[in-house]
Structure formats: C-alpha cells, structure tokens
Structure 1
Amino acid sequence: MNFNHIPVLLVETIKALSCKKGGCYVDATLGGAGHALEIAKQIGANGFLIGIDRDSTAIEAARKKLAEVKPQVKLINDNFKNILQILTELRVEQVDGYLFDLGVSSHQLDTAERGFSYRQEAPLDMRMGKATETTAADLLNNLPQSELEKMISEYGEERWASRIAEFIIDYRQKKPIELTTELVDIIKAAIPAGARRKGPHPATRTFQALRIAVNNELEVIEKTIENIVPTLKVGGRIAIITFHSLEDRIVKHKFKDLARKCICPPDFPICNCDQEPQLKIITKKPIVATEEEVAKNRRARSAKLRVAEKI
C-alpha cells in the first residue's frame, strides 16, 4: 500500500533542528518519512538516523523511502514513550536532535478501514498501532455516560459533550455503535442544527477526543519530553509539531518549566531550589504554516511548531 503523507512545516522544521553533519537524530513519529528524508540529507554519510513509529505500515513505507540515503538508519516499530529503552538497546547515549510530529498522519486519515475519518464509512477503530487493544468502538460501547462526557469535553473541547454522550447512551441501548457513519449521525442528532452550521464539521471534536483517548496521546507527551532532555547534547534541539490546542499547551508549558531557573513559590524571599534551566526556548511564539502551504495542504492549517535547545 502506498503511504501518502505530506510533511507539514518541512522547511521550517529542518531549519529549526539545525542538523549537524555526522549527527545523531531521532524522528520519533516517522510517518511517511518526509521529515526523516530531509534530516538524512542534512546529516550525511557519517550521521545516524533513528526512526520510530507505532504504525507498522509507516515503518515499511519509510524503509523503502530511506533505502538509498547515506546515513546509517535504524527504524523501530514502537511507541515513542519507550524512547529511553530504544536508545539503550541501540547503545546510544546522546542525541543531537529530536523531532515529534504529533497527531494522525494523512495516510491514516485517508485509509478508510482505520476508522480515523468521519468522512468515510469504516469500523470505529482509530488505533495508531495494532499493539493497542482498545478501539474507539470499545470506548463508545462501554464507558459510562459521565466518562464519555468528560472524554469528549476535555479531549475534544466540545461544548455539546453532554448531549453527545447522552445520545450515544440512548443509541447503544438499541444496538452497539460499530461504524464511523453511525457515530456521525449520533453527533449530528445531538448538536442543534443552528450550531452545526458554524465552524468545522460537527464530528471533528468528538472524533479527535476518541483518537486521543484510544491512543493515550496526551499522557505520554509531557513525560517523554522530561525523559529525553538528559539524553540531548548541549546545543541539541527538540522540535515538536502539534495540531490542536491541548497538545500545544502541554509542549509550551513543559518547555517553559524546563527553561525556568527557579521553581520556588513566588512568595519565597530567597531562592533555595537550586534549579538550573535545562532548555532555552527558541520559538517564543509557535511557527505556523504559510498561506501558500495551507493552500496546498489543508491539514497544515492547525500545525504549530515549537523548538527548544539544550543548554
């Protein structure tokens, strides 16, 4: 199967990583290897590129795309939350740069049977990797109403979460919810017609919430950033691309925490925490796609790139 994926903010990301010849770089969300291919070109024959993705389809597609590059390449089918274990197994102690392109890939959205898209009928799966046991259908058919509401409200930032959860419960009492089209119809029935006419597709936020919950996306981001900073060489950089405000907020605040010199309460007259900043924030404001890029790739419209450097 052809793994089609247009890398977002490609030029900006490669520039921000400031790749060094002969350096060691980790693309923690390999996807279609668009970013990885450019990193490989930058680091040259003496470089080492580590690509990680939980999606085995992405790994196989990347293997073909990167077959002719000059650096040594190691591709790992795993979740990036296991980066430290992966580096240990590869006997890599320090890295020159990390890239995270969070969220779902174009290929995953466009492959109907994966169940990520509300535009195509498919089983409600939404797993980024088959190692994940729980599907979106499992959550929809088993979570109590209060937990469904909380998930849709917090992960989807959906103002109609209460009604959507109520309608899901009513529907599943008659039959299990199995298809993306069934869920779309439930959501449309729950959201008043006037509210559906404004903004994005009415199913966007609920589908986002389900995808985040199924893949446990938000919980691992903050911890992973903490884990990898000690493995980063001085002057090395972390570049993270996010696609919704929840992810962006986590990255923004974690970078700020790691860049702070003092973590004492503000009412302490003298600092006694001995906290030393670990990062310098390179992007005071996130880098976003140009109008030209958004015109070519609509999925770039919500992308935000934040970059920090080890000090």
Structure 2
Amino acid sequence: MVPTDDARATHVPVLAERIVEVLAPALAAPGSTYVDGTLGLGGHAALILDACPQARLVGIDRDPAALAVAGERLARFGDRVALFRAVYSELPDVLARAGRRPVQAVLLDLGLSSLQIDRRDRGFAYSVDAPLDMRMDPDSPLTAATIVNTWAAADLARILRVHGEERFAERIADRIVAARADAPFTSSARLVQVIADAIPAAARNTGGHPAKRTFQALRIVVNAELEALAAVLPAALDALAPSGRMAVLAYHSGEDRMVKRAFAAASTDRVPAGVPDVPAAYRAQYTLLTRGAERPGPAEIQANPRAASARLRVIARNPQEVPR
C-alpha cells in the first residue's frame, strides 16, 4: 500500500542543512556517488541531489512502502537515482550490483522514518492501538508479538535493559509474562497498559511516555538494528574513495556509542601513543570532521520534536588512501 500525502507531509529531514554542508564537498566531481543507506522517504537524498548536480544516488531501504514514496519523490532526477530494497548491512552486495564502488559520500540516518511512525498498522507507535508488528521489512519473520508472547522473562528483561535503558526492566518483563498467561498480546494498547502498571506511580510521569523505552527495545531487536549497524560501519568506511565522507545520524545511545568507537578507531594511528614518526602503513586512514556528536539546535527541535535525540558524527577518508 502506497502511503498517503499526509505521510509525506510529516517527513522532515533532520539536520538537513548540516548534512548537505558536510557531504557536498565530496560530491563535486562528475559521476560521484552518494549512498543513502537508510533512504526512508528520500528527504535527505533530494536535498543532496539538488545541491550536487554531478552526483548519482544509490538509495537503500528495507521497507518497500518507503521505497515507493522515495521513488516518486526522486523521479525528477531520472537516471541519477538507483534504488535497492535491502538492509544497509548488505552494502557491499548493493554496490556490486550497482557497479558504483568506490563511493564519495555515505549517509546513515538511523532509527525510524516518519512513514513508519505515522502508519498505525505498522505497530511502532505506543500512542495508538495497533498490531504488535514493528517490522521495517514486512517479510521478516520476527515480530514484536512473537517476542512478548514467547520469550522468557529473563530475555525480555535483558533487551529492555540493554536496548531500552529501562530501569524497571525486570518488573515489566515479569508483568508481561504474567499477563500473557491469561491471553496472548495481539495489539499495543494492552501491552502499553501492562507496562504502565509495572512502573511505580512516582516514575510514570518522568522520562516521557512509560512505554517509550520498551517499544524502542522491541523495535531494535525485531529489526536486528545493532547487528546491522555493526556490519555496515566497517563496510561503508572501506567503500569510501579518497577524500570521501560518511555521516551518521543516531538517535539511541547504543547506536551512537558504536559509531563513536568505529570512527575513533578508524581515525587513530595504529601505533602506541607518543611515537614521533608513524610509518605510512600505520597512519590513520580517516579524519574526524565533527568534534564529538553534533546536535540539532533549539529552533529545529521546536519545529521537529523528533529531531531532539539526534546525534551527528562525520568522518572523511584521507586523500592519500585508496580503498581495498
């Protein structure tokens, strides 16, 4: 089902001007390639293609509904656009199929697209009653319903604690297991109520909606998001041409830690600290272009509250390095 115009209207690319600013210098040459590994509704991609008329896009998304919307939005760019249904961890295979390696710029805008949040039948939102699905790829076998109805309490607590940073993970997991003994969970409203009842009353009105962290954890596990991110970071860095640039927008501390560590390792010489003359073979191949993580300003957050948790990190491949 193709999303409505309302879904398109709610799509506001996060840190849009900054993304164009940091990636455009790498896309000035004719035939340069921009990879959008999380294409979504194509907002960032359209801005990049407008700003960089010499660039071509390789767009990747696992969600066929998002690809349909993005295809319409980007149709005006004609053969400058090639779209692929895949998980971004499949980047090497996609680039081989596209014949576009090495690449000059990569963007990963992690988390959910506006389409996934706003389509009630997808089950991502805790504010409306919907099926417990949460799959970005509707053909994937694992759903949120499977997790809450079949996983042991200890496993539920672990993912809520690790991926949701939920203080009351054990209480929530125990309540879920007790409730499903009466009847399996089929939609989000009952799960939200069980979660809220498990959280002490004094804590329910702090830190946002009481189900926010649980739903985040379920979504991350259903879509194997951290496993995919761990696979794509080295692959994307390796695919960059000399002077190529990579930007990542993360919305969850676990994602951002992975990006920070991968970028730090890539931009550090492979010798003990203090060595005065580092041999060329051991010098860092990449340079950080952001100091720490950049955040949206108050004006952007006010206009687009979904941007509030965004963290941007950017890295460049050094000019003298050639990808393997």
Alignment TM class, shorter chain as reference: over 0.9
1:56 maps to which residue? Answer: 64
1:96 maps to which residue? Answer: 104
1:34 maps to which residue? Answer: 43
Residue 17 in structure 1 maps to residue 23 in structure 2: yes
CA contact (8 A) 1:40 1:71 kept: no
Residue ranges of structure 2 left out of the alignment (5+ in a row): 319-324
Aligned partners of 2:285 and 2:121: how far apart in 1? 43
Aligned partners of 2:198 and 2:242: how far apart in 1? 52
Q: Structure 2 matches for 1:142-291, cutoff 5 A? A: 142-262=150-270, 275-291=282-298
Identical-residue share of aligned pairs (%): 37
Aligned partners of 2:100 and 2:29: how far apart in 1? 17
Aligned partners of 1:304 and 1:237: how far apart in 2? 17
Deviation, 1:20, is: 1.8
Cα RMSD (Å): 2.0
Residue 299 in structure 1 maps to residue 306 in structure 2: yes
Q: TM-score, normalised by structure 1?
A: 0.94
2:321 maps to which residue? Answer: none
Deviations 1:212-239 (A, max 9, x none): 0000001121221111222211111000
Aligned partners of 1:188 and 1:33: how far apart in 2? 35
CA contact (8 A) 1:156 1:205 kept: yes
CA contact (8 A) 1:49 1:71 kept: no
Deviation, 1:71, is: 5.9
Residue ranges of structure 1 left out of the alignment (5+ in a row): none
Q: Structure 2 matches for 1:1-12, cutoff 5 A? A: 1-2=3-4, 3-4=7-8, 5-12=11-18
Q: TM-score, normalised by structure 2?
A: 0.91
Aligned partners of 1:271 and 1:297: how far apart in 2? 46
Aligned partners of 1:263 and 1:172: how far apart in 2? 54
Deviation, 1:271, is: 8.9
Deviations 1:173-210 (A, max 9, x none): 11111111111001011001001121211111000000
Aligned partners of 2:192 and 2:314: how far apart in 1? 36
